[in-house]
Structure 1
Amino acid sequence: VTAMSGGTGPDVAELGTTWTAEFADAGGIDDLTDEIAEAGLEGGFVQGLLDPAVLDGRTFGVPWYAGVRSILADKDVLEKAGVTEQPASWEDLLAMIEAIQASDPDLIAFPVPGAAPISMMSFLWGAGGEVATEEGGTWTAQLNQPEAVEGLTFYSDLALKHDSSTAAASTWKETDALASFQQGKVAMFVTGSWVPATIRAEDPDLADRLVAFTVPAKDGAVAPAVLGGSHLGRFTETAEPELSFELIKLMVTGEFATRWAAETNFFPGEQAALDEVVAQGDDLTAVFAQQMNEGGKSYPVTPAWGQIEGKKTLPTLLSEILGGTGVQEAADKAAAEMDQIFGG
């Protein structure tokens, strides 16, 4: 941001997907809509990753790479509990959890990490809820509406009512859930598409027992899931706009997109490259890619989102619910905070 305001920015920059709209609104990066079309790239990217690059109908960033979250489990634990099939609904997921609890009461069947609100989003969206919606240029928080509250309630009830989690998990980050899984204390958990490769490098025996499932929606096998990653954008101050766009094209398509995915364990943003990664990958890769293709979703695409992240509105919401605040009360508070930010 400092470089942008001082006119000393790079030609091309990596932008986190939740920040692209803010940079575009500030006039710091170029509108690439026409160049993307002229290059024949229109329609060639994973839609869920392209969406947060679009502001007011114009595209300001090109999808580079992303990660998505699904459920990872220990196959041996599931086989012992007699539950090995993809859950097709929340009811199925709860049945899996209860079977694991009955099979091994000492295991944490499904942790609800209090410092990992990204996992929460699949349940909020999976009930048909939204974080916020835009009408006539005005954004309004929606996470205190009935569908969103239903999703928040189901997710938090896994810990508070069904004892699928543990009290300590109320302060866990995603890395804490992973560590407990690797220690054999957790049966299954929501985690990122890059994690199986990490486990493979650190614990090959556990890696051989991994199985993945898409996070289910209330009444479907694939819930929306946060598609977090990066775009490539071109700074408006560049002296080489054409060359800069050529660099972007080189990085986000074809061989280099596929190589980047292989070397970083993230998914490419180009659909053809993603399809190639899936074709070359294993069953775990296919599940995470399905979550990305069918459920990939972004946070509200508004320049104000950075402020909401800065206020930690969503982490606070989850923390308060797990701490005993009523879901509706906590959601109302979070919605009011968001609306204040949206209103400037």
Structure 2
Amino acid sequence: MRRRLLALLCVTGSLVSGCGMLPGDQERKTVTVWLMKDSASKEFLRRFTEDFEREHEDLRLDIRIQEWTGIVEKVRAALRTDSADGPDVIEVGNTQVPLYADGGRLVDLTLESMRDWGKDAWLPGLAEPGKDGNKQYGIPWYAANRVVIYRKDLFEQAGIARPPRTRDDWLAATEKLNSGGTQGIYLAGQDWYTLSGFIWDEGGDLAQEKDHTWQGTLDTPAALRGMEFYRRLQALGAGPADADEEHPPQAGVFAGGKVAQIIAVPGLAQAIVRQNPDLKGKIGFFPVPGRTAGRPGAVFTGGSDLVVPRNTDDQFAATAVVGALTGAKWDTELARTMNYVPNKTTLADAVAGEEGVAAMAVGAAHGRATPHTPQWADVEADNPIKDYMTRVLNGADPAAEARRASRKITEALAPDVG
């Protein structure tokens, strides 16, 4: 009771202030943090831990690294347990937050978000999936999204002086590049994340909620326009209609030297150069173009949020960790260290010196996420969007195939009964 009273006295809002221990009290409260493998370097975590424990003399961090494989069930089990040995803070994929918020097992961090953490500047693709109604459960940590990775030398040879900024210019440039044995762009037929961006640009969506029921919406005029642009762009290369970007891995295809562009996260350039060192210095990046030059294209924003389980035995300490990790100081440091996009649009200048990350940050400002429902995982488990794309690219009627895919999405999003 004495230590809890001290903690309460030392808290301003939700952030533990580091006002120190009572004389003779040397015990530290352990805060267990689950972070995912490769989200942060060991050196970053060492420096963060030292700084945090110096500022919070009554707390000790126990950071445990988790594997992505099997993490959903592991987190669900941790949220259900009554044991005090579970995690106090958990890193989760931004689109996974609805899975864990369902059932009221996460702490509502809306007040802290508004009062202390500057939620109005958060990237929408991280912030929106972290909400349930008006309540904020997931706190944005870092983002990553697709950009166009291109061959600077091939652009120059084709007389393209600068990267395109509109869709029309992009199509024209890609058509010019698609000659002499070189693919203008390698775009796999089932890259549904990229298609999502084109659909969002047109004002459409993959699914929408109406009267508390989710329905697939690939058959709307806006979504069909997005698919038509995808079809036109994909035709300016030899990407397979019946496979996604990992089959075969597009880094290897690009490294073959006969591709002018791919759509991927900037970090893929490192794998490309490892496979073909001759491309070092020849690779550039630009944001996915939008319909107009003044607004880049919408992109699917991946990344991570931090959540606090409701069964934590010290919510104040847990929110102190969240506030520190997602605050400007350490969030920008993480972005620089790991080539991520910071969690706020106001922090984009922190990565302006890195071409690929800077292009990613421009797109992230207009990023989106998958439909905000726990059942979306059921859609991806047997993804009808991929089959829809393949059928259209092989010549089937887009409207008929979109209606078929939309029905399957609606069925997958139906709530479990019984």
Q: TM-score, normalised by structure 2?
A: 0.74
Question: Which position in structure 2 is the counterpart of 1:144?
Answer: 219
Distance 2:189 2:291 in 1: 21
The alignment partner of 1:19 has SS state of helix
Contact 1:224 1:296 in 2 (8 A): yes
**Deviation (angstroms), 1:205:** 5.1
**Deviation (angstroms), 1:201:** 6.3
Contact 2:301 2:364 in 1 (8 A): yes
1:289 aligns to 2:361 (yes or no): yes
Question: Which position in structure 1 is the counterpart of 2:207?
Answer: 132
**Deviation (angstroms), 1:272:** 4.3
**Deviation (angstroms), 1:57:** 1.3
1:57 aligns to 2:129 (yes or no): no
1:187 aligns to 2:245 (yes or no): no
Counterpart selection for 1:2 from 77, 85, 93: 77
Q: How does 1:52-91 map to 2 (within 5 A)?
A: 52-91=129-168
Question: Which position in structure 1 is the counterpart of 2:55?
Answer: none
Contact 1:30 1:233 in 2 (8 A): yes
Encode CA deviations 1:279-328: one digit per residue, 9 max, x unaligned. Answer: xx2333322211111x2111111222222222323333323333443322
Question: Which position in structure 2 is the counterpart of 1:277?
Answer: 351
**Deviation (angstroms), 1:203:** 5.6
Distance 2:105 2:388 in 1: 32
Distance 2:125 2:90 in 1: 20
Q: Which has the larger radius of gyration?
A: 2
Q: Which sections of structure 2, spanning at least 5 residues, go unmatched?
A: 1-75
Between 91-100 and 212-221, the greater mean CA deviation after superposition: 212-221
Contact 1:112 1:170 in 2 (8 A): no
Count residues in correspondence. 336
Q: How does 1:196-275 map to 2 (within 5 A)?
A: 196-199=269-272, 206-220=279-293, 222-275=296-349
Distance 1:195 1:245 in 2: 34
1:176 aligns to 2:249 (yes or no): yes
Distance 1:133 1:167 in 2: 30
Distance 1:203 1:246 in 2: 45
Counterpart selection for 1:327 from 398, 404, 409: 398
Contact 2:252 2:272 in 1 (8 A): no
**Deviation (angstroms), 1:273:** 3.9
Distance 1:246 1:205, change over 3 A: farther
The alignment partner of 2:120 has SS state of coil
Distance 1:44 1:124 in 2: 24
Aligned-residue Cα RMSD (Å) equals: 2.3
Counterpart selection for 1:302 from 373, 386, 392: 373
Q: Which sections of structure 1, spanning at least 5 residues, go unmatched?
A: none
The letter of the residue matching 1:216 is P
The alignment partner of 1:208 has SS state of coil
Distance 1:198 1:245 in 2: 37
The alignment partner of 2:251 has SS state of helix
Q: How does 1:9-28 map to 2 (within 5 A)?
A: 9-28=86-105
**Deviation (angstroms), 1:150:** 1.4
**Deviation (angstroms), 1:219:** 4.1
Encode CA deviations 1:211-248: one digit per residue, 9 max, x unaligned. Answer: 22221234455111101111000011111111111111
Contact 1:131 1:141 in 2 (8 A): yes
Distance 2:269 2:349 in 1: 19
Question: Which position in structure 1 is the counterpart of 2:172?
Answer: 95
Distance 2:241 2:251 in 1: 12
The letter of the residue matching 1:61 is G
Between 267-276 and 150-159, the greater mean CA deviation after superposition: 267-276
Contact 2:97 2:129 in 1 (8 A): yes
Distance 1:303 1:3 in 2: 18
Between 179-188 and 69-78, the greater mean CA deviation after superposition: 179-188
Contact 2:141 2:331 in 1 (8 A): yes
Distance 2:393 2:81 in 1: 44
1:336 aligns to 2:411 (yes or no): no
Distance 2:87 2:320 in 1: 15
The alignment partner of 2:200 has SS state of helix
**Deviation (angstroms), 1:13:** 0.9
Distance 1:2 1:315, change over 3 A: farther
Contact 2:196 2:300 in 1 (8 A): yes
Sequence identity of aligned pairs in percent?
A: 26
Distance 1:252 1:106, change over 3 A: same
**Deviation (angstroms), 1:133:** 2.2
Distance 1:243 1:57 in 2: 24
Distance 2:205 2:132 in 1: 18
Which structure's residues are more often helix, by fraction? 1
Encode CA deviations 1:148-168: one digit per residue, 9 max, x unaligned. Answer: 111112212333xxx412154
Distance 1:204 1:285 in 2: 21
Contact 2:256 2:276 in 1 (8 A): no
The letter of the residue matching 2:360 is F
Between 234-243 and 201-210, the greater mean CA deviation after superposition: 201-210
